[in-house]
């Protein structure tokens, strides 16, 4: 009864439009009162959930990404991508996809990716004669690549939700091959759709221009190497790398690019603080929810339930993916990671599934929910930039969504794709 009450109150509050953090807190409080547990447990778990030192990396990476986004790096990355793939069919669409891969390595956020790259590319595509729905759909699905490449906030969040014992360096390494696979799949899809619609190509600027743009973009791309190599080599921890990333971003945008003025810097601080506040509030309230899941033995019940249906680990993975896809339609990625990790990670471990591999599956599955109504935050941002309705986008997004689903299934059933690189670098 307590388990049903916990999930029922949470689902009901989400349906009526209550923000996720408040819905988590209210559901936990009602369940605590029903179980006649002291309400001080809620305060203790909120404090414990938001007090982990590893979480400091999240606001610092958000801040570094905001600095780079407002300091001129996005324009340089787009120029580099344009010179590399602009001559392919549907040139600007291909530029948007490759730019998202580059910028994802700077921001680590799908929302920041679609805001920066989509905010620049969608109006350009519309101006050059591309249909608005194509411009929006290619940009929002390409933004999902940012979830998989360093410094992905969501992989850090997964590590924290898993108890903090998972190596963030291994998680970062595990996401690189799936990210490249997603980029390739979306570029092929973009080519097919562009060919069907008769879109043109961009003029190749010449190898000299490619070299010049590469040199201009290298300081921004260097942030990815700094973070990944530094953590992987053990030079600094994830938190230390996040602090170094902020200093590096300031040096690049203020000293080298000279584009981050005082006004932009203040806007960056405010925006990063707001984003951090939202994320950490969700983390804090999800800690109480997670504690109740453990107290009510939901993870062990989930293991028993799935074992009654499937004996193969791949069947279990398929069932989990289906459930996560359904949850992703009405739950944002961060709370989904925080709620589902304590439930499904023990199941994965019981079936011998590597926690690193499972983390990639969880994040990628939840990422598809970001471009799926009714709660797809990336979808809403992209359609707002493109000035079209969600319905218009949904009618033609299916080739890109299916490409993302195909990549998810390949990553799910071929774990070596995500585990190969961490093994090589071990």
pLDDT at 177 over 90: yes
pLDDT number for residue 86: 73
CA distance 68 to 115: 13
**For residue 285, what are the contacts with CB-CB under 8 A and spacing of at least 6?**
21, 22, 24, 25, 28, 46, 49
Highest mean pLDDT among 173-182, 274-283, 302-311, 375-384: 173-182
Domain limits at 170?
Answer: 1-425
Tell whether the torsion through CA atoms of 7, 9, 15 and 18 is positive or negative: negative
| Among 271, 252, 229, 365, CA closest to 63 | 271
Q: Please, is 271 exposed, middle or buried when counting C-beta atoms within 10 Å of its C-beta (0-12, 13-18, 19+)?
A: middle
CA distance 250 to 227: 15
pLDDT number for residue 253: 86
| Dihedrals phi, psi of 384, to nearest 5 degrees | -65, -40
CA distance 236 to 227: 9
Mean pLDDT of 129-153: 89
pLDDT number for residue 198: 85
How many domains are there within the chain?
A: 1
pTM above 0.85, yes or no: no
pLDDT at 96 over 90: no
What is the maximum span of the chain, computed from C-alpha positions, in angstroms? 72
pLDDT number for residue 356: 94
CA distance 352 to 338: 21
Q: How many C-beta neighbours within 10 Å does residue 357 have?
A: 21
Which region among 23-27, 46-50, 249-253, 375-379 has the lowest average model confidence (pLDDT)?
46-50
| Among 5, 336, 410, 366, CA closest to 178 | 410
CA distance 76 to 6: 48
pLDDT at 374 over 80: no
Mean pLDDT of 294-318: 78
Q: Please, is 276 exposed, middle or buried when counting C-beta atoms within 10 Å of its C-beta (0-12, 13-18, 19+)?
A: middle
């Amino acid at each position: 009864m307590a388990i049903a009450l916990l999930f029922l109150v949470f689902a009901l509050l989400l349906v009526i439009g209550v923000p996720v953090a408040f819905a988590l807190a209210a559901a936990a409080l009602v369940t605590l009162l029903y179980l006649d547990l002291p309400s001080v447990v809620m305060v203790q778990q909120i404090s414990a959930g938001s007090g982990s030192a590893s979480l400091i990396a999240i606001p610092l990476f958000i801040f570094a990404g905001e600095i780079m986004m407002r300091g001129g790096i996005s324009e340089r990355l787009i120029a580099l991508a344009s010179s590399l793939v602009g001559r392919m069919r549907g040139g600007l669409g291909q530029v948007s996809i490759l730019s998202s891969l580059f910028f994802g390595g700077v921001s680590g956020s799908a929302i920041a990716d679609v805001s920066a790259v989509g905010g620049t590319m969608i109006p350009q595509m519309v101006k050059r004669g591309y249909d608005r729905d194509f411009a929006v759909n290619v940009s929002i699905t390409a933004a999902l690549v940012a979830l998989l490449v360093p410094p992905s906030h969501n992989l850090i969040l997964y590590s924290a939700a898993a108890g903090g014992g998972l190596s963030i360096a291994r998680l970062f390494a595990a996401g690189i091959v799936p990210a490249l696979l997603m980029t390739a799949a979306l570029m092929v899809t973009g080519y097919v759709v562009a060919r069907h619609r008769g879109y043109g190509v961009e003029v190749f600027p010449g190898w000299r221009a490619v070299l010049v743009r590469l040199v201009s973009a290298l300081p921004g791309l260097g942030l990815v190497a700094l973070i990944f190599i530094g953590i992987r080599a053990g030079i600094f921890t994830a938190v230390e790398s996040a602090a170094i990333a902020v200093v590096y971003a300031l040096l690049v945008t203020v000293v080298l690019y000279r584009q981050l003025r005082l006004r932009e810097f203040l806007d960056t601080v405010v925006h990063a603080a707001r984003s951090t506040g939202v994320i950490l509030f969700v983390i804090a309230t999800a800690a109480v929810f997670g504690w109740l899941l453990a107290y009510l033995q939901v993870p062990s019940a989930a293991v028993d339930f799935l074992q009654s249906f499937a004996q193969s680990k791949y069947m279990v993975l398929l069932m989990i993916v289906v459930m996560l896809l359904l949850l992703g339609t009405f739950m944002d990625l961060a709370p989904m990671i925080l709620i589902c990790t304590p439930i499904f990670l023990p199941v994965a471990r019981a079936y011998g599934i590597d926690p690193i591999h499972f983390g990639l599956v969880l994040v990628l599955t939840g990422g598809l929910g970001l471009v799926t109504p009714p709660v797809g935050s990336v979808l809403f941002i992209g359609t707002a930039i493109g000035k079209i309705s969600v319905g218009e986008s949904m009618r033609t997004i299916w080739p890109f969504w299916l490409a993302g689903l195909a990549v998810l299934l390949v990553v799910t059933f071929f774990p070596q794709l995500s585990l190969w690189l961490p093994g090589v670098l071990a």
